[in-house]
Amino acid sequence: MPRIPTTPSPAKFVETWSTDFKDAVRRAAGKAGRLSASEATRLAARPDADKLFADTAVQYFADTGKKTVSVDVIAREMKAYAQRAAEQAAGPDKKLSLEDGKKLPNDLKDDFFFMRGKAVPATTPTPGGSAVEALRTQLSGLTEGLWMPSETDAAFRFVSGPKLDGAPITAATVREHLSAQHDALLPQVMWAPEESVPLATRTHVEERGAQQFLQRLIDNVDPEDEVSMENGQRMQALKDALEANQTDLKVFRFGEVNISTFIVGRASSGELVGLLTGQVET
């Protein structure tokens, strides 16, 4: 039976989702009231609907590097994440149709369709989907604890879109397919004023060659600084992985001063995939 109306507002979806999410992680955490990374992982093995929230909880620990977190904190932060994503997916009419639901990040998309009483699109794993998940695992591991250097360092987060069927990768492609993920993830990547988070408001766009962009990060190290040298080596490993697993690699920088930086390309199976990071330039 549907848990939410046919075309709910973002607020209605998030209200229902966040209540269910908090209940699920509270049950997983037990009397201690603190959820661990291992307890989040075990949510996926639940026989009931609680398992739907495992991917969001697991990703929270991957993104933050925390080992445990109070139920209230993770519930509050993930509610804000869901609100940003739902508002972006809904668009100007401020209603979440089934087509809008497909634009949600994967962890929320599954939950939305379940709450609507509908089958999740593409629920059967495909070779391409498996390739994208393998790339997510690889790149997330390579970028854990790695920072994009600028006036304020920024983290990296994996992003992915649909198969492009041979269409070129452009700034418009990134806006169309990755805006919801950008708006939801940017506060985890870098600090930015709330009003400047939406990708839609970042009208200034700059495209750069990925190879040259990454090589400058590798070369711009201090040979007398051990941390700087290690960062350069990790950037080299990241560049190697990106070039080995993607074609048409490009860098798009959206905005000025607080810049959203996408390093994106085409997976071997055709999907738009890459990394979101940021740079501050005054």
Check residue 271 and give its pLDDT. Answer: 92
pLDDT greater at residue 11 or residue 127? 11
Summarised one tens digit per residue, pLDDT across range 109-159 is 889 998 998 876 654 444 445 678 888 888 988 998 899 998 888 999 999
Check residue 121 and give its pLDDT. Answer: 65
Predicted confidence band of residue 194 (pLDDT cuts 50, 70, 90): confident
Helices then strands, counting H and E runs in the chain, come out as 10, 7
Q: Find, among 206, 181, 16, the residue nearest to 106 by Cα.
A: 181
Mean of the per-residue pLDDT values of the chain: 89
pLDDT greater at residue 181 or residue 207? 207
Which residue type occupies 101? G
Predicted confidence band of residue 162 (pLDDT cuts 50, 70, 90): confident
Check residue 123 and give its pLDDT. Answer: 40
Determine contact, residues 278/260, Cβ cutoff 8 Å: yes
Lowest-pLDDT range, 15-29, 170-184, 191-205, 241-255? 191-205
Range 229-236, long-range pairs (CB < 8 A, 24+ positions): 231/146, 231/147, 231/149, 234/142, 234/146, 235/146
Determine contact, residues 183/260, Cβ cutoff 8 Å: no
Summarised one tens digit per residue, pLDDT across range 19-57 is 999 999 999 999 989 999 999 999 988 888 899 999 899
pTM: 0.65
> For domain 127-280, which architecture applies?
3-Layer(aba) Sandwich (3.40)
pLDDT greater at residue 79 or residue 194? 79
Check residue 117 and give its pLDDT. Answer: 87
Check residue 63 and give its pLDDT. Answer: 75
Kindly report the length of the chain: 282
Angle between the N-to-C axes of helices 71-90 and 54-64, in degrees from 0 to 180, rounded to the nearest 10: 110
Domain residue ranges of the chain, discontinuous segments joined by +: 10-115, 127-280
Predicted confidence band of residue 1 (pLDDT cuts 50, 70, 90): low
Residue 176 has pLDDT above 60, yes or no: yes
User: Alpha carbon of 40 to those of 31, 47, 59, 122, 278: distances in Å?
Assistant: 15, 14, 9, 24, 28
